[in-house]
Amino acid sequence: MGYAAGRFGHVMFPENVYEPALECAELLLEGVGRGWASRRYFSDIGSTKIEIALKMAFRKYFVHNKILLDSANNNTNERCIDLK
């Protein structure tokens, strides 16, 4: 177990960066994401990717339509609903 933890630390600890993934993210932001994307997200399995993509899409829709407050521009005068 200790050998595996030391060998695959980049998988177990998300604060570590895998150099090829970082390079890929930078290329995405400089290419197709230029002008609208400021962040990127990598996931390990397909079901997690779909779940996160849906959460991001719903969040974008709610913020864009002023249904949910954007945490970056927290304006309490705008409409807000609780999602449970």
Q: In this predicted structure, what is the pLDDT of residue 78?
A: 54
- Both tokens of 64, joined, read 């864009």
The 10s digit of each residue's pLDDT in 53-63 is 898 888 888 88
Q: Where are the alpha helices (DSSP H) in 2-84?
A: 2-7, 9-12, 19-30, 46-64
Q: In this predicted structure, what is the pLDDT of residue 83?
A: 63
- Both tokens of 63, joined, read 């913020």
Distance CA 7, CA 16 (A): 13
Distance CA 22, CA 37 (A): 15
pLDDT at 29 over 80: yes
Say if CB 79 and CB 66 are below 8 A apart: yes
The 10s digit of each residue's pLDDT in 32-78 is 888 887 777 777 788 888 998 898 888 888 888 888 765 655 555 55
